[in-house]
Amino acid sequence: MKGVDMATDLLADGQSASGGTARSGPQTFLDVRDLRIHFPTDDGLVKAVDGLSFSLERGRTLGIVGESGSGKSVTSLGILGLHRQSRAKVSGEVWLDGEELIAASAERVRSLRGQRMSMIFQDPLTAMHPYFSVGAQIVEAYRVHHNVSKKVARQHAIDMLGRVGIPQPAKRVDDYPHQFSGGMRQRAMIAMALVNNPELLIADEPTTALDVTVQAQILDLIRDLQEEFQSAVIMITHDLGVVAELADDILVMYGGKSVEYGAAETIFRRPEHPYAWGLLGSMPRVDREVRERLIPVKGTPPSLINLPSGCAFHPRCPYEGRNGIPCRTQVPTLAEGSDHGVACHIPPADRQRIFSEDIAPAL
Amino acid sequence: MINFILRRVVTSVVLLIIISMVTFGVFFMVPKLAGTNPAELYVGKSATPADVAATARKLGLDKPIYVQYGEFMKGLVAGREYDNGPDKTHCAAPCFGYSFRNDRPVWPLLLDRLPVTISLTVGAAIIWLLGGVLAGVISALRRGSVLDRIVMVVALAGVSLPIYFTGLLAQLFFVHNLHWFKGGEYVNFADDPFGWANKLFLGWVTLALLYAATYARLTRAQMLETVSEDYIRTARAKGLRERVVVGKHAMRSVLTPIVTIFGLDLGAALGGAILTESVFSLPGIGRLSIDAVNTKDLPVVLGVTLFGAMFIVLANFLVDIVYAVIDPRVRLS
């Protein structure tokens, strides 16, 4: 079965590269299909990720957007195989360069982790070990996957720190994380994630803990390094500004599912899901009156144990129930195979009209 | 780092001086306030008031308390001459006072007992540290399993049961019924290593059980907390093997607080494991102190107390230094 897929993959490869949108064939570098990550708890089953599919080519960036608890981080940890089998039920398929990871042995996934796929974590102060020097942590990350002497690895770590813009890397390499500033720590974290030239880089809110000027520097850095290594990058964030700057494609998550998926250009210019409209409205705009700068999405994120029936967004959706559409009863699905998938019951023509007439002028 | 150590040395010395003042005050002023003349304790029941006065003069008990304290401190540093005309007694430095019950200076008494206490405490410490940490780690990694529950029940029993219960029970079974160990007198390691270990073994295990229980619980809690830390997830994300993630990254964090309480516990135990030494009839510092209390041998009580305090302060000092070495964040503050 897989052999056939691979053959068609090769044929389709040229098309998908020129197509440039998210939905390409199964030959893509990273292909996530129907990923489900459920956590059994005392209160019930937490469906943190429920039937997520997306794909990503080398050299391109996918932005995964959504509010806290929408399943963004759980997804990235799932791809890296970092969920404990005793705690999480993971199903679906994750294909990395033709190799399926969910069913693969833990040891196999471990050997890929940090080498072919790696991750930049959100808060570098807690994500780096307080008792080991920055250099030692980078050296360790390199030596797990490369059989080299400590001296060689140390030199490599110094080079890496220099490349991510740490001044005097040969001196700072022996510093501990607490001796670095927030921005420097994030750079060190990036150096650690990139030390093995990973082909897939997942950045989980890499700039949340940083101030705005440093944010821009870090994003530039990730972009430069991506171009250099031709890595595929997944940028997880709730900050649409970050995504606008970096992403080729955007996946909007809500309640563990993807509600809108397409090229970044499309999602920003012609978003069709009411939740995406809400996200765009909640981006602060300096060119507006103070009271109109932010339009929040009303309500709170849904409970992942008892998701609202039908469309999970319906309790917060201003268009719920219009013209008798079955928002409360039927779960909308993301149309497969199109360049722009929207999981919404409102007919496409209506959605486009609502956006251009009601939403866009207010944005 | 040098500054840090110097600061700690100064604090430790100041602390010891304060402890000596308080202890001295308690043992020499309180009897006076209660209307007891300490000198009467030394001379026996049939002594004449003249004898009491002579003894008081010889020991300096007739002088004001601060003069007595000054003489005591001087004796600690330079040695001391108890002098009442022709009746002279020399007490070499460090002079912790003179025990008239034993007719010896206190310091050699302490030194005689020290090897026993060290033998007992260090042996037990090795067992409780290794056993406790190992049990805690296994328990944490197998959280919720039968093994975890067994370890935690044993740990609960360990902290709950007093030494005079477990110690006596152990002696009853292993010495009297099973004859696995000999009772009898303590022998020096140098004279008979096997006899030494044989005599001490039950004491080691009994004392260790008490502490190991605490260590197991602490290690387990610390390990469970640590494995959910972000940096442990980072270690896994690097592709490190689970053995390295737990054995290196998690253990590094788990051991830091363990080292701290280990230093303090060891210091306290060296000051005299009174119950264990009594139950197993080991002639250590703890036994010395309990005997001194029973015979109202104030200089010995004072000496034992200060000696114990010294171990605790020293342990605190060492723990601070070690902590600065193992936790790089300490050095800055």
| pLDDT band per the 50, 70, 90 thresholds, residue A285 | low
- Each residue of A316-328: pLDDT tens digit? 888 887 777 888 8
CB-defined contacts A:B, below 8 A: 72
Interchain pair B328, A121: CB under 8 A: no
- Each residue of B26-66: pLDDT tens digit? 877 777 777 777 777 777 677 788 888 887 887 777 788 88
- Total Cβ atoms within 10 A of residue B88: 10
Confidence check: pLDDT of B210 > 50: yes
- Whether residue A237 lies inside any domain: the answer is no
Q: In what order do the strands lie in the sheet with A89-96?
A: A44-56, A30-41, A89-96, A99-100
Contact A93, A100 (CB under 8 A): yes
User: Over pLDDT 70: what percentage of chain A?
Assistant: 88
The predicted pLDDT at position B271 comes to 77
Classify each residue of A103-133 as buried b or exposed e, where b means 16 or more C-beta atoms within 10 Å of its C-beta: ebeeeebbbbbbbbbbbbbbbbbbbbbbbbb
Q: Please state, in angstroms and rounded to a whole number, the distance separating the CA atoms of residues A144 and A198.
A: 14
Confidence check: pLDDT of B84 > 70: no
Give A79→chain B minimum CA distance, Å.
Answer: 11
Name the nearest CA neighbour of A77 among A58, A60, A64.
A64
Q: Is B240 on the interface with A (CB under 8 A)?
A: yes
- Whether residue A118 lies inside any domain: the answer is no
Q: Whole-number mean pLDDT of chain A?
A: 84
- Each residue of A127-167: pLDDT tens digit? 999 999 999 999 999 999 999 999 999 999 999 999 888 99
Interchain pair B234, A128: CB under 8 A: yes
The predicted pLDDT at position B81 comes to 80
Contact B220, B152 (CB under 8 A): yes
What residues of B are in contact with residue A114 (Cβ under 8 Å)?
237-240
Q: Whole-number mean pLDDT of chain B?
A: 85
What residues of B are in contact with residue A133 (Cβ under 8 Å)?
328
**Of A349-363, B76-90, B139-153, B313-327, which gets the smallest average pLDDT?**
B76-90
The predicted pLDDT at position A17 comes to 38
The predicted pLDDT at position B267 comes to 87
Domain count, chain A: 1
| pLDDT band per the 50, 70, 90 thresholds, residue A12 | very low
Residue at token pair 């719920």: A320
| Domain encompassing residue A355 | 257-362
Name the nearest CA neighbour of A217 among A172, A153, A154, A167.
A167
- Whether residue A288 lies inside any domain: the answer is yes
Residue at token pair 């909308």: A332
Contact A186, A206 (CB under 8 A): yes
Higher pLDDT, residue A263 or A213: A263
Confidence check: pLDDT of A10 > 60: no
Interchain pair B237, A82: CB under 8 A: yes
Q: Please state, in angstroms and rounded to a whole number, the distance separating the CA atoms of residues A207 and A236.
A: 10
What residues of B are in contact with residue A120 (Cβ under 8 Å)?
none
- Each residue of B152-183: pLDDT tens digit? 898 888 888 888 888 888 888 887 788 787 77
| pLDDT band per the 50, 70, 90 thresholds, residue A201 | very high
SS (H, E, C) B63-86: CCHHHHHHHHHHHHHHCEEEEECC
Residue at token pair 């022709």: B86
Higher pLDDT, residue B329 or B315: B315
- Whether residue A53 lies inside any domain: the answer is no
What residues of A are in contact with residue B326 (Cβ under 8 Å)?
131
- Whether residue A158 lies inside any domain: the answer is no
Cis? peptide before B94, omega within 30° of 0: yes
CATH superfamily of B106-326: MetI-like (1.10.3720.10)
Q: Alpha carbon of B56 to those of A140, A291, B38, B65, B250: distances in Å? A: 70, 88, 8, 13, 61
Q: Alpha carbon of B31 to those of A232, A282, B158, B302: distances in Å? A: 82, 77, 39, 13
- Whether residue A281 lies inside any domain: the answer is yes
DSSP assigned state of B177: I
**Of A153-157, A324-328, A347-351, B116-120, which gets the smallest average pLDDT?**
A324-328
**Of A248-257, B260-269, B323-332, which gets the smallest average pLDDT?**
B323-332
What residues of A are in contact with residue B234 (Cβ under 8 Å)?
121, 127-129, 192
Confidence check: pLDDT of A22 > 70: no
- Whether residue A348 lies inside any domain: the answer is yes
- Each residue of A233-256: pLDDT tens digit? 999 988 888 888 889 999 999 999
Please name the member of A111, A127, A178 whose beta carbon is closest to the beta carbon of B329: A178
The predicted pLDDT at position A14 comes to 39
What is the arithmetic mean of pLDDT over A259-283? 87
Interchain pair B239, A126: CB under 8 A: no
| pLDDT band per the 50, 70, 90 thresholds, residue A21 | very low
What is the arithmetic mean of pLDDT over B253-257? 90
**Of A25-29, B238-242, B263-267, which gets the smallest average pLDDT?**
A25-29
> What is the value of pTM for the model shown?
0.78
- Whether residue A109 lies inside any domain: the answer is no
Interchain pair B240, A114: CB under 8 A: yes
